[in-house]
Structure 1
Amino acid sequence: MRRRKFLKNSTAATAGFISAPLIASQGRSATAQDTSNNPKGSIPIVVCTWNFEKASAKAWEVLEAGGNSLDAVEQGVMVEEADPNNQTVGYGGRPDRDGNVTLDACIMDKDGNCGSVVYLQNIKHPVSVARKVMEETPHIILAGKGAEQFAYEQGFKKIDLLTEKSRQDWKNWLKKSEYKTPINIENHDTIGMLAIDRNGNLSGACTTSGMAYKVNGRVGDSPIIGAGLFVDNEVGAATATGVGEEVIRTVGSFLIVELMRQGKSPQEACEEGVKRIMQKNKGRKDFQIGFLAINKAGETGGYCVHPGFTYRQYSQEGHDNVPVNSFYAKK
């Protein structure tokens, strides 16, 4: 994954199950030693949803130095959590419809240990709080004020997460008098990251500020183990992006890993996972859904659809030593 070529293989209704308005495109990419002809891939490797090159670069830096996959995914997604220009993750995220920036995140390691925070406010790095939940408590999920208090006890600093840009966007949204939750218009860039280190161990992390202008208290799939993220070190790992409610209904990431356990490749598993959701939502044109997966052998796969849009799952040309494998959407 050091030097990745832009590869795409466009086809209308690729998997044969999407109605005419959708053009689904998918791509398969080379890995670190350009193993495009090697079905077993290579390690170490890191993949993430969407076009987050800096996050991938940070994670790769950890792996290339011999670090473990858990540290890699945490440090990788923290890049986006700290970026005020990314209005879908962490600091600067768009608020709920009442003006509150609330964050969700989870993390999972090679041994099945996991931690999660939901509806967390005033903390820049929810993924790190989630890791503390995993390592310092007997619990898996902490929520709301309890999660916030726990973060302060662990040394995290309070910060106002609502930047002026996100505040103004929210005020402009209120002026439209559309007091409803828009689906995947203002917000779709959850970052999910999966990695295998040099020892062949898998980890994953997922973090988001949630759906823009959501109903106060809403939580999506991102912090839910088995929905937004799942890791099984014997098989592989998966993460999701898109409308969280649809991912939760199918326990999406767990489904992808189980499909890989049954013998499907990561690409086949992601396509099947999306297929099942789309079959239950025939005619809907107001949401997107996608999965990204990696198996124990280092093979990767990804699939993302949105009725009425053209989507590409691709690997963008990156800098030396910088792996990039992202979902990227363009109308």
Structure 2
Amino acid sequence: MNNRRQFLKISAMGAAFFSYLRGNSTSVDQHINPGKAPAGGPIVLSTWDHGIPANQAAWDILSKGGRALDAVEKGVMVPEADPKVNTVGYGGLPDRDGKVTLDACIMDENDNCGSVAFLQNIMHPISVARKVMEDTPHVMLVGEGARQFALSKGFKEENLLTPESEKAWKEWLKTAKYEPVINIERHDTIGMIALDANGKLSGACTTSGMAFKMHGRVGDSPIIGAGLYVDNEVGAACSTGLGEAVIRTVGSHLVVELMRQGMSPQKACVTAVERIKKKYPGYDKIQVGFLALNKKGEYGAYAIQKGFNYAVYSNSVQNKLFDAKSSM
């Protein structure tokens, strides 16, 4: 009988302890739930400081009851057209041959997705990606085929190499040394994920890729499951940083699947980063970050290195920039 009483006492203490941990999760993990949108949505999140104006354009749609898919497309079009953002669209830093090549993908609440890669001379690759999704039986078009498709849909060819980016490229040619500096290039991407008032998730990702990359290089941004993934039953995630490392782990899909297993968005991002660190030699010299959002409107972000920030816009968070937690 005494043994039974002792067992019950220990069990009760254990249950109380784990209840305490659940109620104080930040004491056992880093910043498990950075935020939550009241009643789920609407809410929009995007990577880096150029996410602030992008979020504003998206919020103009979400706040009026608009669809998340429309919001993320319009949102990322803002940095695509901004020549001051040298990692996305117009004004993006070129490859080693002096060519601006663009990658983008988009995904809606019904698992529909579209993507373009190695696209040249078209201002808004995200809109071309949506056309691929809606007007073709395919998911991805690349290179000359993507350009011809864009022209057939009424997009106009434009020179996307600005004088500033051309000057930077010619300066780089003096040494032709390829050595990206962590967080300086802002890691090439804007990823945006959104939950609308009707509980529908969508996401978009667009980039001009790594500065001075090899001609033809494509990173994670246009690859569904790597740079972006959306599952309307669970949540959405996007990535930023060295695309090769993200592709190897199918990073954004991994984050969503971890949320499906019950992890918070923050914990899922942490786990995905730790997996990259385990598998990628020299991880201390690269940057990778993830941004995640679940169906409840809870969100999280995490990166290998310090310096990754993200923007949030909801009814309670009025388009603010936050610094993500990091492993180093």
**What is the percent sequence identity of the aligned residues?**
58
Which residue pairs with 2:44 in the alignment?
A: 46
Give the TM-score taking structure 1 as reference length: 0.84
| Larger Cα-atom Rg | 2
CA, structure 1 residues 314+78, in 2 after alignment: closer, same or farther (shift >3 Å)?
Answer: closer
Q: Secondary structure at the match of 1:285?
A: helix
Alignment-mate amino acid for residue 214 of structure 2: V
Distance in 1, Cα, partners of 2:82 & 2:315: 20
The Cα of 1:50 is off from its aligned counterpart by 1.1
Aligned counterparts, 1:74-89, within 5 A: 74-89=73-88
Selected match of 2:307 from 300, 307, 311: 311
Alignment-mate amino acid for residue 149 of structure 2: F
Which residue pairs with 2:107 in the alignment?
A: 108
- Given that 2:245 and 2:280 are in contact with CA atoms closer than 8 Å, whether structure 1 keeps it comes out as no
Which residue pairs with 1:71 in the alignment?
A: 70
CA, structure 1 residues 251+133, in 2 after alignment: closer, same or farther (shift >3 Å)?
Answer: same
The Cα of 1:322 is off from its aligned counterpart by 4.0
Distance in 1, Cα, partners of 2:302 & 2:113: 25
- Given that 1:47 and 1:324 are in contact with CA atoms closer than 8 Å, whether structure 2 keeps it comes out as no
- Given that 1:315 and 1:326 are in contact with CA atoms closer than 8 Å, whether structure 2 keeps it comes out as yes
- Given that 1:50 and 1:189 are in contact with CA atoms closer than 8 Å, whether structure 2 keeps it comes out as no
Distance in 2, Cα, partners of 1:144 & 1:217: 9
CA, structure 1 residues 224+295, in 2 after alignment: closer, same or farther (shift >3 Å)?
Answer: same
Alignment-mate amino acid for residue 145 of structure 1: E
Which residue pairs with 1:4 in the alignment?
A: none
The Cα of 1:28 is off from its aligned counterpart by 5.2
- Given that 1:49 and 1:327 are in contact with CA atoms closer than 8 Å, whether structure 2 keeps it comes out as no
After superposition, the C-alpha distances for 1:234-287 in whole angstroms (9 at most, x for unaligned) are: 000100000000000000000000000000000000000000001123544321
Greater length-normalized contact order (CA 8 Å, ≥ 6 residues apart) = 1
The alignment covers a number of residue pairs equal to 299
After superposition, the C-alpha distances for 1:81-118 in whole angstroms (9 at most, x for unaligned) are: 00000000000000001100000000000000000000
Give the TM-score taking structure 2 as reference length: 0.84
Distance in 2, Cα, partners of 1:164 & 1:319: 40
- Given that 1:190 and 1:210 are in contact with CA atoms closer than 8 Å, whether structure 2 keeps it comes out as yes
The Cα of 1:326 is off from its aligned counterpart by 5.2
Which residue pairs with 1:247 in the alignment?
A: 246
The Cα of 1:175 is off from its aligned counterpart by 1.1
Aligned counterparts, 1:260-299, within 5 A: 260-281=259-280, 283-299=282-298
Distance in 1, Cα, partners of 2:60 & 2:238: 21
Which residue pairs with 1:182 in the alignment?
A: 180
Alignment-mate amino acid for residue 311 of structure 1: G
Which residue pairs with 2:118 in the alignment?
A: 119
Distance in 1, Cα, partners of 2:258 & 2:278: 17
Alignment-mate amino acid for residue 286 of structure 1: K
Alignment-mate amino acid for residue 202 of structure 2: S
Distance in 2, Cα, partners of 1:303 & 1:187: 15
Q: Secondary structure at the match of 2:95?
A: coil
Which residue pairs with 2:136 in the alignment?
A: 137
- Given that 2:46 and 2:191 are in contact with CA atoms closer than 8 Å, whether structure 1 keeps it comes out as yes
Distance in 2, Cα, partners of 1:136 & 1:326: 37
Q: Tell me how large the CA RMSD over aligned residues is.
A: 2.6
CA, structure 1 residues 329+183, in 2 after alignment: closer, same or farther (shift >3 Å)?
Answer: farther
Distance in 2, Cα, partners of 1:222 & 1:315: 18
Distance in 2, Cα, partners of 1:329 & 1:209: 26
- Given that 2:37 and 2:315 are in contact with CA atoms closer than 8 Å, whether structure 1 keeps it comes out as no
Which residue pairs with 1:221 in the alignment?
A: 220
| Structure 2 gap segments, 5+ residues each | 1-25
